[in-house]
Amino acid sequence: MATGFFTDTTICIGCKACEVACKQWNQLPGDGYAFTGNSYDNTVALGATTWRHVAFVEQMAPPEEPVGTSRWLMMSDVCKHCTNAGCLEACPTGAIVRNEFDDVFIQPDICNGCGYCVPSCPFGVVDLIGHADYPATRSFESDGRSTDDALQKHGGIAGKCTLCYDRQKDGLVPACAKACPTESIHFGDVDELKDQARQRVATLRASGVDAYLYGVDEDTSVGDLNAFFLLTDAPGKYNLPERPVLPSTHQRAGYTSAAIAAAALTLVGFALFRATK
């Protein structure tokens, strides 16, 4: 069974309980107290130790328009757990795997921090955990945590949403979905979630809301997303790519072009080194 998230942005209230629940369950360090001044979003983006991020878009009407035409869009962003995952394909150690729940998981004891998954994610999700993110002076072993956990906490490896692999193994709902007070974050079997989401889109459209699904039935090289979204504006406004492209689709052209260049110059070299004095 493939599990995933259906995040319905129309009922998100931007409370960030998902961000907090994720940090708590996964024992991730805080993001500091930066103030962006952009909107009620001071987390800014997903990161190596920030696995849920609530985007908060303020769309204020120009003063000429009547009151009531301004609106807020809130979206709890997360790793998409793509059908064709760029990070998984790029990983040279096999640290990034697809687990039994069909989710993309980084094995923290295998990853050696080469960083190739970072530019290979078309959604800008995965990042390297800095050694400074976790104070080295803390003794993790004495906290009674597992060695794997301690290894991860010392940084230097890639980090992203695990879709609460540990909780799923125990039959629990991921922390973010559990904490969401409006059930904007639905967790479950992806096929069932898709049916539910299509119905929700139909309901919203019937009542005049321009809603659509992001990451379902789209013709992109990353395929369907295990964590997909119901949006009411263009993807770019939520900082999602309009058209994500799977990086490995560039390989054939690249290898061909390199081979042609190298072979042509080698042939020229043969001619030069054999025929000239």
Q: How far apart are CA 78 and CA 101, in angstroms?
A: 17
CB atoms near residue 236 (< 10 Å): 9
* Residue whose entry in the numeric block shows the structure tokens 């997903």: 46
Tokens (6 digits) for 247 = 């990086």
Residues 218-247: x where in contact with another protein by CB under 8 A, - otherwise, as a string: ----------------xxxxxxxxxxxx-x
Stretch near another protein under the rule CB under 8 A, chosen from 58-66, 142-150, 183-191, 203-211: 58-66
**136 contacts another protein (rule: CB under 8 A):** no
User: Does residue number 34 form part of the binding site for another protein (CB under 8 A)?
Assistant: no
Least distance (Å) from another protein to the CB of residue 264?
A: 8
Query: Is 150 one of the binding residues for another protein (CB under 8 A)?
Result: no
Does the footprint of another protein cover residue 215 (CB under 8 A)?
Answer: no
In whole angstroms, the minimum distance from the beta carbon of 91 to another protein comes to 6
203 is an interface residue for another protein by CB under 8 A: no
Of 174, 129, 175, 118, give the one whose Cα is nearest residue 152: 129
Span interacting with another protein, options 38-46, 167-175, 176-184, 202-210, rule CB under 8 A? 38-46
Taking the alpha carbons at both ends of the chain, their separation in whole angstroms is: 69
Distance (Å, rounded) from C-alpha 150 to C-alpha 27? 11
Do the beta carbons of residue 112 and residue 93 sit within 8 Å? Answer: yes
Sign of the dihedral through C-alpha 168, 174, 175, 178? negative
Q: Taking CB under 8 A as the rule, does residue 254 contact another protein? A: yes
Rule CB under 8 A: say whether 255 interacts with another protein: yes
CA 236 – CA 231 distance, rounded (Å): 11
Residue 265 binding another protein, by CB under 8 A:
yes
Give the shortest CB-106-to-another protein separation in angstroms. Answer: 12
Q: How far apart are CA 81 and CA 22, in angstroms?
A: 16
- The alpha carbon dihedral of 210, 214, 217, 218 has a sign of positive
Interacting residues with another protein between 59 and 118 (CB under 8 A): 59-63, 66-68, 70, 86, 89-95, 110-116, 118
Q: Is 147 in the site for another protein (CB under 8 A)?
A: no
Q: How far is the CB of 263 from another protein (least distance, A)?
A: 7
Nearest of 203, 205, 204, 197 to residue 224 by alpha carbon: 197
Closer CB to another protein, residue 4 or residue 244? 244
Query: Counting contacts by CB under 8 A, is residue 155 touching another protein?
Result: yes
Residue 96 Cβ, how far from another protein at the closest point, in Å?
A: 10
